Amino acid sequence: MSEEQNPAVRIDHGSGGWGPGLVVRAHGERNIVLSVTGGDEHPVAKKIAELTGGRVVNAFNAGAPDNQVLCAVINCGGTARSGVYPKKRIPTVNVFNASPGGPLQKYITDDIYVSGVGVDNVQPADPAEAAIGDDSAESAASAPAAPAPAASAATAAAQQPSRQTKEATGFSKFIIKFGGAIGYVITSLLNAGREGVKMILNTVIPFMAYVALIMGIVNYTGLANWIAKSVSPLAGNLWGLLLLGIITALPVLSPFLGPGAAIAQIIGVLMGGQIAAGALPVRYALPTLFAIDGQVGCDFVPVGLGLGEAQSETVDVGVPAVLFARQLTSPLAVVIAYFFSFLV
Amino acid sequence: MTPLLAALPGGWQTLMVPLDVKSNPVMQGITWFATHFIGLFKAGAESFVDLSTGVIPLLLVLITFMNALTTWIGEKRVTRAVQWAGKYAVTRYTIMPMLAAIMLTNPMCYTFGRFLPERYKPAYYDATVSFLHPVTSIFPHANGAELFVWTGVSAGVMKVDGGAYARLAVLYFLVGLIVILMRGLVTQWITTFLIKRGGHTETFKKYDADYAAGRLESAEGAVA
């Protein structure tokens, strides 16, 4: 197969971008990198074309038949244009950071779409890697044979503007640059909002519902008063807080108090209720925060070290090191916070 | 009303209980249960409304801004800053965990440990994980799932004194930095102690050599 000679290109998502990345390769007639970014041909499109041996067509100057488009390079905030090319199953490279959204969201899948791509994210692929459309290479190669006249006409039309006669100059160049910058700012804000809503919806609200349920039960049954009565003497003075800090950090206890910070969060909410009710002075909030948090992360040491690519010996040494150190540093943190609490 | 004895056909006698809510102990029990069962959840719903109107709007706007900011700054720049911060003990347990938490958020922040020699990794982990709650007082996006350690306590403070809330937020963050520095240094010290006592000295010497070699390699790579 002659197609195999075309080099494949790996396109990864950039900083803040989305998707596991794409591998594309030119197949016969399917060799156009469509630049749909406005202004000049986008550098990312140029780099993809250069590495695949394809050619760039600026969509604002000329059209290109869909069956010849290798991939489309776009700059879009994720509401309309991001979905148009994925809907046609054309691999889409977004230079902005949009993650899937908008009315065409269901077409924007990670096998066909990558975002936040910069020039540095476009690299030659491992030759062994399968590229999009490899399996249909024969059909792609044979298909253009039939509509040859139409295709060649389109190719001619597409090639003509590639002479770059329409190079923007002066004022229009400024407008395009300015527009691009505004677009970038708005897109990243919009995307940040979308990520924020996802986080609130997926992690904050479910926890809030659970906390609210427990709070309801605890308050309604009068359990809150009972807990407050037993905890207040502990939380209301330095010695009690120190004791709390020592208890939460006990090596036999801390790994069980840790998971999801669930227990610390409940105690935090209860303490907050006591402060609001005036049962605890405001300035005790600071040492309390450290006293109820002595166990933080003690359940997660091996995993956290693993994420830092630690060797197994480091994990062997690190787990007891963190647990023992915590026994010392947890009450010490309470003392430090206690002295700073005079500033609250 | 009192229960009545009624004669049933066939000579049986049975106790007829009138369905009067006020005097019937069974119905009283049912009423009591129903009221308090719903009351329990009504109290829960009230807490939920309190939390949602108080916490969510501010949080959402703040998270949006922080997400955008982290995109603009870019991971590459932060990685460079983190590699620099990893060299010195004072920055390794303050600036490095702070940048990791704000930029990479929980749990990806631990991955910055890979820039450090093996012997410092436990202390870096300890410092980073200990900062994941103080960081939420100013950057809630960093640890969205565990906000209530801070939010729970601070909501009470907010009700009493709004000015104290702001001071508490800044102090929690700053005292957090001091605490993780102290924690990092203590854990580093104990790690060194355990390496010696456990007879791992040679192993970790080899790791240090590998790290130095890897560092030279990557430095050359950066030049090329």
**B138 touching A, CB under 8 A?**
no
* Kind and range of the H or E run holding A276: helix A262-276
Q: Are residues B94 and B62 in the same domain?
A: no
Per DSSP, the residues of A170-212 read: HHHHHHHHHHHHHHHHHHHHHHHHHHHHHHIIIIIHHHHHHHH
Q: Are residues B102 and B186 in the same domain?
A: yes
- A24 domain-assigned: yes
Q: Are residues B54 and B94 in the same domain?
A: no
C-alpha span between A334 and B108 (Å, rounded):
27
- A145 domain-assigned: no
C-alpha span between A340 and A344 (Å, rounded):
8
Decide if B124 and A288 are in contact by the 8 Å CB cutoff.
no
| Parent domain of B129 | 88-213
A-contacting residues in B 45-84 (Cβ below 8 Å): 45-48, 51-52, 55-56, 59-60, 63-68, 70-72, 74-76
pLDDT in tens, B75-134: 778 778 888 888 888 999 999 999 889 888 877 788 888 888 888 999 999 999 999 999
For A40, the token pair is 């000049």
- B187 domain-assigned: yes
Task: Give the closest-approach CA distance of B205 to chain A in angstroms.
Answer: 12
Per DSSP, the residues of A131-181 read: PTTSTTHHHHHHGGGTTHHHHHHHHHHHHGGGG-TT---HHHHHHHHHHHH
- B18 domain-assigned: no
Question: Using H for helix, E for strand and C for coil, what is the string for chain B?
Answer: CCCEEEECCCCCEEEECCCCCCCCHHHHHHHHHHHHHHHHHHHHHHHHHHHHHHHHHHHHHHHHHHHHHHHHHCHHHHHHHHHHHCCCHHHHCCHHHHHHHHHHCCCHHHHHHHHCCHHHHHHHHHHHHHHCCHHHHCCHHHHHHHCHHHHHHHHHHHHHCHHHHHHHHHHHHHHHHHHHHHHHHHHHHHHHHHHHHCCCHHHHHHHHHHHHHHHHHHHHHHHC
Q: Are residues A231 and A307 in the same domain?
A: yes
- Spatial strand order in the sheet of A32-36: A55-58, A32-36, A69-74, A92-94, A113-114
Q: Are residues B147 and B45 in the same domain?
A: no
- A168 domain-assigned: no
* A76 annotated active-site: yes
- B169 domain-assigned: yes
* Kind and range of the H or E run holding A33: strand A32-36
CA B141, distance to chain mean position in Å, is 11
A-contacting residues in B 185-204 (Cβ below 8 Å): 186-187, 189-191, 194-195, 198, 200, 203-204
Decide if B182 and A333 are in contact by the 8 Å CB cutoff.
yes
| Parent domain of A214 | 178-221
Write the ipTM.
Answer: 0.73
Q: Are residues B124 and B152 in the same domain?
A: yes
Domain total in chain A: 3
- A151 domain-assigned: no
Average pLDDT, chain A: 78
- B222 domain-assigned: no
Task: Give the closest-approach CA distance of B49 to chain A in angstroms.
Answer: 9
**Residue A154 identity:** A
**pTM here?**
0.64
Q: Are residues B202 and B143 in the same domain?
A: yes
Q: Are residues B110 and B183 in the same domain?
A: yes
Strand, coil or helix: A325: helix
Q: Are residues B142 and B34 in the same domain?
A: no
pLDDT in tens, B149-199: 898 888 888 888 878 888 999 999 999 999 999 999 999 999 999 998 888
- B83 domain-assigned: no
Contacts of B141 in chain A (CB under 8 A): 196, 199
Q: Are residues A117 and A199 in the same domain?
A: no
Q: Are residues A42 and A56 in the same domain?
A: yes
Residue that is last in its domain, among A162, A196, A221 = A221
Q: Are residues A327 and A232 in the same domain?
A: yes
Residue A144: band (very low, low, confident or very high) from pLDDT cuts 50, 70, 90:
very low
pLDDT in tens, B4-63: 555 666 666 666 655 565 677 888 888 888 888 888 888 889 888 877 887 788 778 888
- A59 domain-assigned: yes
